[in-house]
Amino acid sequence: MVEPRDVVAVVVAVENPADRLVGAVSALSAHLPPSDRPTVRPLCPARPWPRMRSDEAARRVHEGGAAIGSFVPLDLHPRLWPPAELVPLP
């Protein structure tokens, strides 16, 4: 079994902008590979990271107005979808 990365919990008030991102950030975090195996997904080790669920979560975070890089460890930034799409909207 692949050990997931350590995570922390953050509490946000309901009905604020961060609340809308909680589900997507949680899904994105759940699918992050361990630092020593950056292509292996902890929930489905047979398939490389990133895959559809993590990509969908990343897109929901991005569409919610947050920078995906803020929720993904630095060692995984080169594997994120195209950098042009990661630039925060003005």
pLDDT band at 84 (very low <50, low <70, confident <90, very high): very low
Contact 10, 27 (CB under 8 A): no
pTM reported for the whole predicted model: 0.68
Mean pLDDT of 75-86: 65
pLDDT band at 87 (very low <50, low <70, confident <90, very high): very low
Q: Which amino acid is at 20?
A: R
Q: pLDDT tens digits, residue range 35-52?
A: 887 777 766 667 766 677
Question: Which DSSP string corresponds to 35-74?
Answer: TT-TTB-SS-TTSBSS-HHHHHHHHHHHHTT--GGGGS-G
Residue 74 phi/psi, 5-degree rounding, is -55, -35
In terms of phi and psi (left: phi > 0; alpha: psi -120 to 50; beta: otherwise), the region of 15 is left
